[in-house]
Structure 1
């Protein structure tokens, strides 16, 4: 019997090695023999997304797989995902897109097939927005409780001998009795301790009733005129997200005004006109000149002014935060003098 068992094991090992060798050489007999492609952990069955990670790598190392903004295709098998799993996929895409310097609009989800069965694209967009709002309200409530000071008041005379204290009402004495914590329940079985801690149950039915919520503390929503935009505060700065939002809303005047004032106030420094040619704006030199003419002729922003360095570089600044002389010296340093010391 031992020899037969050993012979059977050897045959199974030989057969397994042959199968592995066939797979390694790409010679699977049929599609059924090929090894199935597995979805990333936590994304559920069939939750594969078009790969955009190569673009994200240029910005910040290795990224999660993200959608290709230019060629979105419906993701197969997403109808098998629960709402929680689909939210997790969406939030991971937001993080990957933020790392690549892009905001996410909800219209992406319908194009990628990331809308639960039985819901319209508009209903799902509103569900995601309300989900984020509820999580934000919960975080704000927890933070308020953590920062609220605990004030304890005396229910009886303090520092006075008991024999000299006035008779205490029954309701006051009752307050002094220790209350049973909510986390404990009275044990019913005889011989058990009076208090038994109420812990998590191992019942699968109870555990499945409350699925784990996908983490989203870093996901921020910016509401625009016709839609909202999402980004991850861990992968994109709030300032860059604000500028991307204004550029996406295509309100060039407001974008220009906010950027100039923000540069003058925060750093402080004048904003170089050439910086508007970079992402997320992508304006040409002619468009920048036309935009400045529009802002100046409107008369609505009298604090905005311009200065030119000796090499011809143009800068804009706000007189609310920078004097013209100081703005001129900063512009000259940035465009001309700084290169002398590098």
Structure 2
């Protein structure tokens, strides 16, 4: 179904129509093939970049779209309604660009942002490690200062677009304690940087997630973003925005599952009438619709606070928590609506259910979101 969106102006309405056209022509027709064969959609992100969809929340002076976050997130949701893996990778790319835009020098912004926002350079986000996921302060990958830059040694994990991205927002230890982590814009083709085989995941098969090994990799000094020791501050501020991206992805995925379930319930008949007309199943679909609309309202509220310059960290965590929990429930219920057919790969709902699970985990698990929310309440 086409979601009726409350958009701020005609430019935003035109952008959503452009997104829907591209998503239908380029994503919807390719998603089943690539997810089943677990193959990367070569050229697709270049297409999205050429259409201006990879730099929407950044200023036009750098080649961005100059769009408020509430519009950008609705574009992400539209992409996720067709292909969750592509929407997630787009959100991660935006997250990687955030580090340069918010903490880069004017020279760094001029040098890198135009190509990033145009999709000529695709980004990854490299914070997590095998033993440092939610506890980012425990990371051990080190960046040692040398005469011509930094030597990076250590292992990273759970990198979306790992081995494919052109650059990584890399967080490595330059000192001790929570103030001993720094942020770098690391090139993806650096000598000594290698990647593990793609993780064998439950879902999001078309875009690889890998580990990375940094074996004394030289990173030029001018690729330090912000000041030494500012890395965790940069990472956590970026994650507030990234959580909104995941909330939008989850909402789009849940909307897709709801649409499939409603369409099937209108066609399938039992006991002489459509199953949607049986109150028990009709009420289930009503609860699914309520969950989707609530998730959308949550991420839009947080985005509007962000656009207004208000504090929004707690609201971003709430949006991520509500939207991803909703996606898990809605996709599970969609399988139930299909009955035995929902458990087969003939229909997309089983894939939606698998894809929803990771959204409760990455960009901070939903247990971490509850911790963020409760700590904010305790202030």
Bigger Rg, which one: 1
TM over 0.5: no
TM bracket (short chain): under 0.3
Hey, which of these two has a bigger chunk of strand by percent?
A: 2
User: When you count helix as a share of all residues, which structure comes out higher?
Assistant: 2
TM-score, length of structure 2 as denominator length: 0.21
Normalized against structure 1, the TM-score is what?
0.23
